[in-house]
Amino acid sequence: MLSRSLRVALPAIVVGLLASATASAQGDFCTTAVAVGPGTYTADGPATGFGASNLCFGAGASNADWYSYTPAGNGTWTVGSCLGGTDTRLSVYSGTCGAQVCLGSGDDVCPITIGGAGFASEVAGLAAVAGTTYYIEWDDRWTTAGYNWYIEFFCADAPQSTFDVVPDCANGFYSVDVTVTTLGSATDVTINNTGGAPAITNVGIGTYTVGPFPLNTNMSYSVVNNQDPGCDSYSQTITNFPCPFVSCGPDQYTYCYDDNESTFFVYQSATAFPMAIIFNAGIMQTFGDEITIFDGDDDQAPILYQGFGDQFGDLTGIISVSTNPQNILTLRITSNAFGSCGTYGLTPMDYTVACLDCLNPAATYTVVPDCPHREYSIQVNLTGTGNATDADIINSLNTDTIQNTGVGTYTIGPFGNDTIVQIQVQNGLNNLCRTTSPDLVQTDSACVYNTCGLNTTYCYSNNDEAWFVFDAAVPGPITIEFLQGDMLNGDNVVVYNGYDDLSALLFNGNNGGDMTGLTVNSNNPDNALAVRILGDAAGSCVGGQAPDDLIWFVSCGAVNVDEEPTADDFLLYPNPTNGTLNIGLNHHWTGEVYVNVVDLAGRVVLMDRMNVTGGAVNSIDLTGLSNGRYAVQLTTDHWNKTKQIEVIR
């Protein structure tokens, strides 16, 4: 049997006679206030007299219902209309009529019904001085309709109790387990109730079942001090929490929420499997409206989710699964007065509730970059479909779905760099059984080549836009030198002095159709260059109209373009060579020179160091290299120069 505790304990101690909810006359003015004591009352509503004071709130009301209360002893007291059925506004005064002092006020403090809007009023914890008269005003700021209300008085020697609501949903009843925790000044107590059930007389500390009562009806109880008349305690208004819908589904629900809601739905698995809820669609107003999903049978259970979906109020994709032994989820929908599905025409909530009587698919996920085109794809390796014969693969960015897939590898995308995506693989029999990837992303920064010696080859296509971004692996400028490459009219290379097209433009063109020999140096604190290759629709390298691939070498250390090496100051010969390569430097170049030989894949295949005397010729042995083209890079502390050679045997 399910047990819901709606209130952990009663306020400290309560004194006073608990009355049934009875019709009570009221005054239209403070001077005609009707005297009342602790109990529960029904008023016909503040519709006449024009006697509202507006002292606590300042304005807003015309008519009022007036009552007075004079406690017989010292203590504290509470007055309110929680679960009283009507939107009320409450003020409490001390003093005399015409010279009142506002002690407290309440508006929109608690629900008007179980699960209803929070528009009822209450003022709690007021100091009670024996023999002092207090005035209670219910005004017509929101309505002139009738309402139920109560006064509670608390004294030091009253018995104390807690309670649990125990529903019997199958038979349409609920009962209340009242636990008397202390007797106060009593030696035994009597437990009365307002729901028509028999009283429980002359009992001590312990737990006693009061009821049963019809589902969704209100009751309250009192613990009467049999030895100290009037020093009694009594409960708040009590009713059962909504009974659960019991099913394994999958059950699909559509709900269009309204303004000022506080609505509960409870769902319980019909089996031993956990309960799950997933939102397929639905938009919420994002200024105060929200859903809350509790891991249990009421709103005291742990919260699994609370919010309004994404930044636009889209609930799609929210999923929660029960972890409690009863396999129950509680959904609460709350809203304010500023727009809703009902008043704004927002997309209604569409959600599915089902038992997780299935097995999750199994998958792994790999990011596959395409840096030149600033995008990436996801390779999904589906290794199992759970207890279904197939699965569906869905991504969170554009919700494209690959349906009815079996075990295998699938490519999802492409997606733009720096956009985060999640991949879900859903069981083909029950989409609540799913495997969700972590956040996956390829960043622009991950596509920056940090290098000081890299050959890059690219064959551009029709209508192409490709990016290559480089920065130096050591402090200092970075240089790009094109070793070869044909380009057609209308196609061009753009080089930026930095990481992107927000940087200064260094080159834009196709070098007369032959990119060979074009050299560009960086001149920025990041030591970065960005190469952008643009092709039109008229032909390309891929199409065969531009036969030679673009090949460029990236090195560290600026080449002075105005002092480009000549045959006199930097010679490589013979070129082509069948083994020995002579390096001739002019008389201005003296000191240590580092030599790197790099193949077209960007690998350094030979390294050497020479101590050069101006005008001398040095040699390196290339007999260990295969036939083909290579870049020879010479580096000193002050300059870096590269030329292309060919090995032929």
| Distance, CA of 156 to CA of 185 (rounded, Å) | 9
134-139/89-96 β-pairing: antiparallel
Residues 195-211 pLDDT 10s: 999 999 999 999 999 99
Q: Helix, strand, or coil here: 367? A: strand
Nearest to 104 by CA among 140, 72, 128, 71: 128
Tokens representing 328?
A: 């129950």
In the prediction, which pLDDT does 397 show?
Answer: 82
Same-domain status, 545 and 535: yes
pLDDT category at 463 given cuts 50, 70, 90 is very high
Residues 379-434 pLDDT 10s: 999 999 988 999 999 998 876 788 899 999 999 999 999 999 999 999 888 888 88
In the prediction, which pLDDT does 418 show?
Answer: 94
Q: Give yes or no for a contact between 250 and 163, defined as CB atoms under 8 angstroms apart.
A: no
Residues 66-124 pLDDT 10s: 999 999 877 789 999 999 999 999 999 999 999 999 999 999 999 988 777 889 999 99
- Can you list the positions of beta strands (E) in 32-84? 34-36, 39-43, 64-69, 75-80
| Distance, CA of 527 to CA of 523 (rounded, Å) | 7
Same-domain status, 125 and 198: yes
| Distance, CA of 212 to CA of 200 (rounded, Å) | 13
- Residues 6 or more apart in contact with residue 58 via CB below 8 angstroms: none
Helix (H) / strand (E) containing 414? strand 408-416
Tokens representing 624?
A: 């260990």
Domain residues for the domain of 25 are 1-243
Say if 202 falls within a structural domain.
yes
Residues 257-281 pLDDT 10s: 999 888 999 999 999 999 999 999 9
- Name the domain boundary from 436, 461, 486: 436
Q: Give yes or no for a contact between 45 and 65, defined as CB atoms under 8 angstroms apart.
A: yes
Output the domain CATH number for residue 303.
2.60.120.290
In the prediction, which pLDDT does 643 show?
Answer: 77
Q: Give yes or no for a contact between 335 and 258, defined as CB atoms under 8 angstroms apart.
A: yes
Same-domain status, 347 and 271: yes
Rounded average pLDDT over 274-295: 94
| Distance, CA of 356 to CA of 249 (rounded, Å) | 10
Say if 281 falls within a structural domain.
yes
In the prediction, which pLDDT does 226 show?
Answer: 94
| Distance, CA of 145 to CA of 148 (rounded, Å) | 10
Say if 441 falls within a structural domain.
no
- Residues 6 or more apart in contact with residue 258 via CB below 8 angstroms: 335, 340, 341, 342, 343
Most confident residue range from 424-428, 558-562, 611-615: 424-428
Number of Cβ within a 10 Å radius of residue 400: 10
- The partner residues of 290 in beta bridges, in order of sequence, read 334
Number of Cβ within a 10 Å radius of residue 504: 10
- Name the domain boundary from 355, 389, 409: 355
Output the domain CATH number for residue 617.
2.60.40.3080
Say if 489 falls within a structural domain.
yes
Same-domain status, 221 and 109: yes
Say if 591 falls within a structural domain.
yes
Say if 387 falls within a structural domain.
yes
Q: State how far Cα 534 lies from the chain centre.
A: 40
Write the CA distances from 477 to 129, 452, 467, 553, 639, integer angstroms.
Answer: 85, 10, 20, 14, 10
In the prediction, which pLDDT does 352 show?
Answer: 93
Same-domain status, 193 and 335: no
Say if 204 falls within a structural domain.
yes
DSSP per-residue string spanning 422-480: -EEEEESS-TTSEEEPPPB---SGGGEEEESEEEEEE---TT-EEEEEEEESSSS-EEE
Between residues 435 and 531, the one the model is more confident about: 531
Say if 298 falls within a structural domain.
yes
Residues 226-247 pLDDT 10s: 998 878 888 888 989 899 999 9
- Can you list the positions of beta strands (E) in 58-199? 64-69, 75-80, 89-96, 99-107, 122-128, 134-139, 147-154, 160-168, 173-182, 189-193
In the prediction, which pLDDT does 637 show?
Answer: 66
- Name the domain boundary from 495, 526, 561: 561
Same-domain status, 541 and 576: no
Range in 27-31, 233-237, 538-542 the model is least confident about: 233-237
In the prediction, which pLDDT does 378 show?
Answer: 95
Between residues 473 and 282, the one the model is more confident about: 282
Number of domains, the chain: 5
Rounded average pLDDT over 208-235: 91
Order across the sheet with 34-36: list the strands.
Answer: 34-36, 64-69, 134-139, 89-96, 99-107
Q: Helix, strand, or coil here: 512? A: helix
Same-domain status, 453 and 572: no
| Distance, CA of 221 to CA of 198 (rounded, Å) | 11
Between residues 417 and 557, the one the model is more confident about: 417
Q: Give yes or no for a contact between 246 and 216, defined as CB atoms under 8 angstroms apart.
A: no
pLDDT at 1 over 60: no
In the prediction, which pLDDT does 586 show?
Answer: 63
DSSP letter (8 states) at residue 120: B
Same-domain status, 237 and 250: no
Same-domain status, 401 and 517: no
pLDDT at 572 over 90: no
pLDDT category at 619 given cuts 50, 70, 90 is confident
580-585/617-621 β-pairing: antiparallel
In the prediction, which pLDDT does 136 show?
Answer: 97
Q: Give yes or no for a contact between 477 and 536, defined as CB atoms under 8 angstroms apart.
A: no
| Distance, CA of 454 to CA of 147 (rounded, Å) | 82
Same-domain status, 40 and 187: yes
Between residues 238 and 570, the one the model is more confident about: 238
Rounded average pLDDT over 37-47: 91
Same-domain status, 24 and 34: yes
Same-domain status, 328 and 366: no
| Mean residue pLDDT across the chain | 87
